[in-house]
Every structure is written in structure tokens, then in C-alpha cells.
Amino acid sequence: MFRRIVIAILGLILGVLLVFTGLQDRTVLIVEEQSSGVQHELYPADDHFVLSYVHSVLLTPVDEYFIITEDNDLILQKTVYESFGVGLPYEQINDADFEIVDGKFILYLERQFKSLNMIISPIPKHSITVNGETFQFNEMLEVQEQSIKIFTIDKKVFKIGNYSVVL
């Protein structure tokens, strides 16, 4: 009987230790459908993500590289594109902010946002890349061709090793 009590107490202590050492705040990237309020959660491991789309007039690819700050702000670090035109940047503040690499224009920025609002058009290849995995918006969203809002929040996550459970 005494042995069972000791094992139960040790098990309880171990369980409490695991909960408190494994409980962490985790950044969650939210893609919210504006028409329905449905939220899709993505879990960036390195606080980076890339928004990609095809420019609606020029039909050329554009990639926007973001980082997430500790305050859950989104900072646009650079935009990579293949041609100049309506809606694409054409000026730089100084020569260090712009370069051409392998035929692509790279504009380095430091623009901060609380959230990003986008309209997903019928032109394919609107996507978000998180942890090297690309998610096509037209496959993710319940309603096609709608506006979305992208923002981040912190959630409590219980993590042991490579396994996580969002609370």
C-alpha cells in the first residue's frame, strides 16, 4: 500500500514538472477569412514567412519576405520581383536598398505592420510559405476570391521533444 502511494506521489510530481517545463508561449500565424471569420493557424518555427503571388497586371511572380517580432508585429524585409510596373516598387531610398540578382529585383525594406490585408484573386499562386512548406490560399480558404487578414498571436503550447499540443 505504501509503495503505491509513493509511486502515485512521484508520478504526480513528475507530471507537474513536465507540465510546467513543457508549457511555452508559441507564435501562431493566423490567416483569417474576412467573409466568415474562419481562422487558419500556422506555426512558424523560425518567425519567418513568405507571401507569394502573381502580379495581376504583369503576370510575373512576387515574393514578400516577413519576420515576426516579439510584439507580434510583421516586418516586411524584402520584396523579390521580376519586372517593373503598376503596383511594384520602382524607387529606393539609397543604393544599398536595391539590387539585381540573377535577373530578379530585390528591394530591401523595413516596413512594420500589425496585420496584412489581402484580396485573393482568381489568378493562381497566391500562397504563404511557413517552415519551407507552401500553402496555396485557393486550397486553404473555404470561400475563393475573398479578402483575408494575416496577423500573429501567442498561444500556450505544451511541448515535449518534437511533439506539441496547442492549449
Which has more pLDDT, 163 or 67?
67
Determine which of 88-92, 107-111, 159-163 has the lowest per-residue pLDDT on average: 88-92
Nearest-angstrom CA–CA distance, 111 and 90: 16
With a cut of 70, say whether residue 7 has pLDDT above it.
yes
Examine the pLDDT at 74 and tell me if it is beyond 50: yes
The tens digit of pLDDT for each residue in 25-53 reads 789 999 999 999 999 999 998 899 999 98
Q: What is the 3-state secondary structure (H, E, C) of the chain?
A: CHHHHHHHHHHHHHHHHHHHHHEEEEEEEEEEECCCCCEEEECCCCCEEEEEEECCCCCCEEEEEEEECCCCCEEEEEEEECCCCCCCCCCCCCHHHEEEECCEEEEEEEEEECCEEEECCCCCCCEEEECCEEEEHHHHCCCCCCEEEEEEEEEEEEEECCEEEEC
**What pLDDT, on the 0 to 100 scale, is given for residue 8?**
85
Nearest to 119 by CA among 49, 44, 53, 74: 53
The answer, yes or no, to whether residue 128 has pLDDT greater than 50, is yes
Q: What is the mean pLDDT of residues 115-141?
A: 89
Ordered by start, the domain boundaries in the chain are: 26-166
Amino acid identity of residue 91, one-letter, is E
Res 33: pLDDT: 95
pLDDT at 166 over 70: no
As a whole number, mean pLDDT of residues 146-150 equals 94
64 grid coordinates: 514578400
Q: What is the pTM of this model?
A: 0.79
> 92 or 57, which is more confident?
57
Q: Does the structure show a pLDDT above 60 at 93?
A: no
